[in-house]
Amino acid sequence: MSGVSFESVLEQFPGTKWDEAAGAVIAPLGQARAVAEWLFGQGVDYCSNVTGVDYLEREVKEKITNDDGETETITRTESGRVDVVYHLYSMRDQAGPLVLKQRTSRDNAEAESLTPVWRSCDLQEREVYDLFGVNFKGHPNQRRIMMWDEFEGHPMRRDYTEPFDHEWEPTPHNEVLEKHQRGKVII
């Protein structure tokens, strides 16, 4: 199968990184638009899917070898982040998918809109904005798409706490049972 491989992206843009575990090209902030335009020029003409992934801050245990040649386990804190994931295909070359990621922080989540390159990103970037709270710079029409305009918060964020409108049920179980025990039953 012909088409653009991720190696050529990495060659063309030295700032980009290859994430082996995710199988994705990670574009640094501010370079995604340039990468996208270059890819579009190479025949990657179709963006099939845009989504977001939210990672909370977490502690990672790592085994390292120190200067004395001993192995020790250290704990480091991995900061939280939000990834915006693009699945790209080439209809011309019948190739794909090529996964492109924009990695941004959780507190001030900003990414570059790729809607000017692939029109199909429009609604899906709006969805990521709505549910993950990522601001897309350069998006022509960035508003909420799933929730109503007045809605507060971004429900797909991991630390989202939904409003407490729990209601009485005859047979609560699992999360509903937890809610049942946590607070007063409103209705």
Is residue 97 reached through a cis peptide bond, with omega within 30 degrees of 0 on the bond before it? yes
22 binds another protein (CB under 8 A): no
Which among 100, 121, 99 has a CA at the least distance from the CA of 34? 100
Among 66, 71, 77, 181, binds another protein (CB under 8 A): 181
Sort 156 into a burial class: Cβ within 10 Å, 0-12 / 13-18 / 19+. Answer: middle
143 binds another protein (CB under 8 A): no
Name the token pair of 167.
């209601």
Residue carrying structure tokens 């909370």:
56
Among 22, 56, 64, 177, binds another protein (CB under 8 A): 177
Largest CA distance in the chain: 65
Residue carrying structure tokens 């699945």:
87
96-135: which residues touch another protein (CB under 8 A)? none
Task: Return the number of the residue (80 or 172) whose C-beta is nearest another protein.
Answer: 172
> Which residues neighbour 150 within 8 Å (Cβ) at sequence distance 6 or greater?
none
155 binds another protein (CB under 8 A): yes
Region binding another protein by CB under 8 A among candidate stretches 59-67, 69-77, 102-110, 170-178: 170-178
183 binds another protein (CB under 8 A): no
| Closest distance of CB 176 from another protein, Å | 5
| Closest distance of CB 158 from another protein, Å | 14
In the complex, the residues that contact another protein under the rule CB under 8 A are 146-152, 155, 162-163, 165-173, 175-177, 179-181, 184-185, 187
